[in-house]
């Protein structure tokens, strides 16, 4: 289950006649595109107050995706875009994955709300979704974007990073530098086609990737081998929280785990019987113990 909400802005290369009612102008739209990063460039983010690095975000690929791969209907003439993204968090703070809605900005400087639909089940083999971000750790996968204006020229990633003591009732954000990052997109190529509904997934022949290398899926699989140095926690393609642990075996493997509620400090208060695990700043698993409850190492 995705936990974070951020805003991502797309700059679309369209004509100046696209200024519909309700849009807001911005004279810096094209300047942001011209001064941005490129696909495959690793973008580092740090705390603006201390300079300590939080992690990195990289968009390595952009393609058009078949409309059938969206869980929500794509209107006739609409466009579905796939972005392959990697997020690496160095410590307890977390760069979030893009979720929910975005803002599309054309070169005339007008913005519109756009959708970020989920991948439909038949297409999850070709387009495994970007899992929920983990801290510390690495996640990779596809992000779908459905803009109102086709052929975007750039995407702006704006991470909202929660403070260690942030809660659902009291959300606190850490100042981040850079505040956002603009990644220019080249001419969009077609991605792998959706499998035919009459053909079993095991016998479907996938179309060739649009580039010479398509990044491999990184969603953990329960029971599969894992490397704890590359991240102790993650989520399966279906959203199940997992942890890399020995769990009675001779080598580390992915096991089911309670969902993480974020970073907490040992001894701080929690609601008695609170479900899920918390993560301490030094990367220990914490559980809510007692009544009134406090976060303690476990299980």
User: Which regions of the chain are under pLDDT 50?
Assistant: 1-34, 198-217
What are the tens digits of pLDDT across the range 237-278?
777 778 887 766 667 877 777 777 777 888 888 876 666 777
Radius of gyration (C-alpha) of the chain in whole angstroms:
20
What pLDDT score does 109 carry? 57
Could you write out the DSSP letters of every residue in 125-164?
TTSPBPPPP-SSEEEEEEEEEB-SSSSEEEEEEE--EEPT
What lies within 8 Å, CB to CB, of 58 at 6+ separation is 40, 41, 42, 43, 85, 86
* pLDDT score of 286: 80
In contact, 276 and 248? CB cutoff 8 Å? no
Q: What is the DSSP letter of 107?
A: T
| Per-residue model confidence (pLDDT) at position 100 | 65
The pLDDT score that the predictor gives to residue 135 is 86
Distance between CA atoms of 253 and 255, rounded to whole angstroms? 6
116 and 130 Cβ atoms separated by less than 8 Å: no
Which residue intervals of the chain are DSSP H helices? Answer: 29-34
pLDDT reported for residue 110: 62
Q: What is the DSSP code (8-state) at residue 258?
A: P
- Claim: this prediction has a pTM higher than 0.75: no
The pLDDT score that the predictor gives to residue 175 is 93
The gap from C-alpha 267 to its chain's centroid, in whole angstroms, comes to 31
pLDDT at 149: 78
């Amino acid at each position: 289950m995705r936990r974070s909400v951020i805003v991502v802005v797309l700059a679309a290369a369209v004509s100046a006649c696209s200024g519909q009612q309700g849009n807001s102008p911005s004279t810096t739209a094209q300047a942001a595109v011209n001064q941005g990063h490129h696909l495959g460039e690793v973008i580092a983010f740090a705390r603006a107050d201390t300079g300590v690095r939080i992690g990195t975000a990289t968009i390595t690929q952009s393609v058009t995706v078949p409309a059938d791969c969206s869980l929500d209907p794509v209107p006739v003439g609409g466009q579905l875009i796939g972005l392959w993204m990697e997020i690496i968090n160095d410590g307890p703070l977390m760069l979030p994955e893009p979720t929910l809605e975005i803002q599309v900005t054309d070169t005339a400087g007008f913005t519109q709300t756009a959708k970020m639909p989920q991948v439909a089940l038949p297409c999850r083999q070709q387009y495994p979704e970007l899992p929920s971000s983990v801290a510390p750790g690495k996640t990779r996968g596809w992000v779908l974007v459905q803009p109102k204006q086709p052929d975007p020229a750039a995407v702006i990633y704006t991470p909202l990073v929660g403070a260690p003591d942030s809660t659902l009732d009291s959300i606190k954000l850490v100042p981040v530098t850079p505040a956002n990052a603009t990644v220019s997109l080249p001419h969009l190529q077609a991605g792998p086609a959706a499998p035919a509904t009459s053909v079993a997934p095991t016998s479907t022949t996938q179309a060739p990737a649009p580039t010479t290398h398509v990044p491999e899926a990184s969603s953990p699989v329960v029971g599969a081998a894992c490397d704890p140095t590359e991240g102790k926690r993650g989520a399966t393609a279906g959203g199940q929280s997992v942890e890399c642990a020995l769990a009675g075996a001779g080598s580390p493997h992915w096991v089911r785990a309670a969902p993480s509620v974020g970073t907490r400090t040992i001894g701080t208060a929690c609601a008695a019987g609170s479900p899920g695990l918390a993560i301490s700043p030094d990367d220990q698993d914490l559980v809510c113990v007692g009544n009134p409850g406090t976060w303690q190492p476990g299980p």
